[in-house]
């Protein structure tokens, strides 16, 4: 065996080893990028979910207050009708047309 036919030194990486290392580095970078992307999506999803839940809670509170106000006014009208102080229950004061015809 002559010197020109000897194998390359074991210290220097072959092109195949370099390609493999490059592919591993690329895979690692891709995995990190995907993890970052999924982490960002998770944060955004949690923020949006929290906002939606907060708005739903606010709407529920408003509905509860509205329901209480309606019940209060209905109780007032019932009490007033029982004492006869609301125009005979014709619906006048409630914005309800008492009859089919209008004056005028």
* Residue 62 placed within a domain: yes
* Residue 104 placed within a domain: no
**What is the maximum alpha-carbon separation in the chain?**
125
| CA 41/CA 52 separation, integer angstroms | 16
Give me 74's structure tokens: 């209905």
Give me 35's structure tokens: 């993890």
Which stretches within the chain are classed as H helix? 15-83
* Residue 12 placed within a domain: no
* Residue 70 placed within a domain: yes
* Residue 99 placed within a domain: no
| CA 36/CA 48 separation, integer angstroms | 18
Give me 26's structure tokens: 């690329």
Which pLDDT score is estimated for 101?
47
| CA 47/CA 64 separation, integer angstroms | 26
Number of domains composing the chain: 1
**Residue-range definition of the domain harbouring residue 68:** 43-82
Which pLDDT score is estimated for 19?
77
| CA 36/CA 42 separation, integer angstroms | 10
Per-residue pLDDT 10s for the chain (104 aa) are 455 555 555 566 677 777 777 888 999 999 999 999 999 999 999 999 999 999 999 999 999 999 999 999 999 998 888 887 555 444 444 444 444 444 44
Which pLDDT score is estimated for 64?
97
* Residue 90 placed within a domain: no
Q: Which phi-psi region, left, alpha or beta, contains residue 88 (left: φ > 0; alpha: ψ -120 to 50)?
A: left
């Amino acid at each position: 065996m002559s010197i020109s036919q000897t194998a390359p030194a074991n210290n220097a990486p072959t092109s195949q080893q370099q390609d493999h290392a490059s592919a591993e580095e690329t895979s690692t970078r891709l995995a990190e990028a995907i993890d970052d992307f999924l982490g960002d999506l998770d944060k955004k999803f949690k923020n949006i979910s929290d906002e939606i839940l907060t708005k739903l809670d606010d709407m529920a509170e408003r509905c509860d207050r509205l329901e209480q106000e309606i019940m209060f006014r209905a109780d007032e009208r019932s009490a007033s009708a029982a004492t006869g102080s609301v125009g005979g229950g014709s619906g006048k004061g409630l914005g309800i047309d008492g009859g089919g015809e209008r004056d005028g």
